[in-house]
Amino acid sequence: MKAVGIIAEYNPFHNGHQYHIEEAKKNTNADVTIAAMSGNFTQRGEPTILDKWHRANEALHNGIDVVVELPLAFSVQPSHLFAQGALTILDALKVSDIVFGAEHSDWNFERLVRSEKNFDKNQFELYNETFATAFNEQLKQNTGIELTDPNDILAFSYFKAKKSIHASANLLPIKRIGNKYHDLEISGRFSSASSIRSSIANGSFDFVNSVPDITKKDLLNIKKLGTWENLYPYLRYTLIQSPVSELCGIYQMAEGLEYRMKSVAENASSFDEFIRELKTKRYTYSRLIRVSLYALLHITDGEMSEHYQTPYIRILGFNRRGQQYLHEIRKKLHMQAFTRLSRDQKVGVAQLDFRAGKMYQMINHSEQQDMKRKPIILL
């Protein structure tokens, strides 16, 4: 059986995602569609609007045959590490192709990746701008192109990751449809995930025509919306009571950021105020939000390195076709794969995801996320 891989957050699953799945199947003639999906926190470090089980179930009802969790050690990372982790897992699952959306699907991303060898590395040592800004300045000088749209940035990262880890899958970008990634206005059948989340946060039901029925049902039944404002009291307490000597060991806590975060937390009463006061030209909001999550979950440099080096496949759900494919490749897998979290895995390879799941449960009163959970099976 031929498999196509999709890397997703499905936050939430909407009509654009359904279109993407249909196009992936059509363009690759695949028998099986596998989604490597982020767990309960996004790449940016924010809690997802629905937990991983609801989102996996929505995907399985709309064209995905197997959903595996993209571990937190990969999913809450800068784009290049996010891409490496996702391709590592999909490569282990023997997918022939990986299909993803891009705003400029006609760009030669391989050529853009090759252009990096001409960059002036000294420009990245300046402290008056973010890495992304410095990178785009170099890219534009060498190619005339800037990577400013999120899906284009990820597309570039996927091609770079393929080269880095020698992944075998063919990479196929397809044109993203509907409104732009960050648009906050609902625009009909194909609206962005950002606009759908904004609509829900504002108590509006404008989003109902932009999502499949099963997603609509899930979104209309949300008990409590998990946000960083809900998380902030826990983060603030952590930053205030933890000594700097402990905070400096948090993953990506560099260049004295631990002092700045601790100082700002003492006075900022809301997460919005905290993150605005924390922002400098050196750091993007995404970087600061991710570091906030690492601090909240007490993820150290050593832990992240160890977990990044030990990827695993956690199967969240599958249908009959997916079951047949998993049975077919099970003896070819060179990576640990499991359907239920054991006590050993809870304190071992899946420890970060277990901690993230517990924190997610606390802020939105969701059901158990890891222990005793069986995969979703649609037969």
347-365: pLDDT as tens digits: 999 999 999 999 999 988 7
pLDDT of 126: 63
pLDDT at 127: 60
Q: Pick 52 or 141 by higher pLDDT.
A: 52
Task: Tell whether 10 is in a known binding site.
Answer: yes
298 is in an annotated binding site: no
11 assigned binding-site residue: yes
Is 193 labelled as part of a ligand binding site?
no
| Residue whose token pair is 């054991």 | 342
Model confidence over 242-256: pLDDT tens digits?
999 999 999 999 889
Residue type for 241, please? Q
Cα separation, 99 vs 325, whole angstroms: 19
pLDDT of 176 higher than 90: no
Domains and CATH numbers, the chain: 3-107+151-225+309-378 (3.40.50.620), 109-144 (no CATH), 228-304 (no CATH)
Q: Which of 10-14, 128-132, 196-200 has the lowest mean pLDDT?
A: 128-132
Contact 214, 57 (CB under 8 A): yes
230 is in an annotated binding site: no
Q: Which two tokens stand for residue 13?
A: 């699953």
Check the annotation: does 9 bind a ligand.
Answer: yes
- Give pLDDT, residue 240: 97
Q: Summarize pLDDT for 110-148 with one digit per residue, the tens.
A: 999 999 888 877 776 666 677 788 888 889 888 999 898
CB 6 within 8 A of CB 70: no
In this prediction, residue 203 has a pLDDT band, given cuts at 50, 70 and 90, of confident
Residue 19 among known ligand-binding residues = yes
Known binder of ligand: residue 14? yes
**Average pLDDT over the chain, rounded to an integer:** 93
- Give the model's pLDDT for residue 365: 75
Q: Is 136 annotated as a binding residue?
A: no
Q: Is 8 annotated as a binding residue?
A: yes
Give pLDDT, residue 125. Answer: 67
Question: Do the annotations mark residue 307 as ligand-binding?
Answer: no
Is 177 labeled as ligand-binding? Answer: yes
What letter would DSSP give residue 111? H
* Mean of pLDDT values over 223-227: 85
Q: What is the pLDDT of residue 134?
A: 84
Average pLDDT over residues 68-97: 97
Transcribe 131-153 into DSSP letters.
HHHHHHHHHHHHHS----SHHHH
Give residue 82's pLDDT.
97
pLDDT digits (tens, 9 = 90+) for 35-45: 999 999 999 99
Tell whether residue 89 is among the known ligand binding residues.
Answer: no
The SS3 assignment for 3 reads strand
Confidence of residue 372 (pLDDT cuts 50, 70, 90): confident
Range from 60-69, 102-111, 198-207 carrying the lowest mean pLDDT: 198-207
132 is in an annotated binding site: no
Residue 215: what pLDDT? 97
Q: What is the mean pLDDT of residues 274-288?
A: 93
Span of 47-56, 147-156, 268-277, 286-295 with lowest mean pLDDT: 147-156
Q: Which of 79, 40, 45, 75 is nearest to 56 (CA)?
A: 40
Alpha-helix runs per DSSP H in the chain: 15-28, 52-60, 72-75, 79-92, 109-114, 131-143, 150-165, 193-201, 213-220, 228-241, 244-247, 257-267, 271-278, 285-296, 301-309, 320-329, 343-346, 351-364
Q: Is 179 annotated as a binding residue?
A: no
* Average of per-residue pLDDT across 225-235: 94
Residue 22 assigned to a binding site: no
Residue 20, annotated ligand binder?
yes
Residue 372's Cα: distance from chain center in Å?
24
Instruction: Kindly report, residue by residue over 313-332, the tens digit of the pLDDT.
Output: 999 999 999 999 999 999 99
Per-residue pLDDT at 130: 79
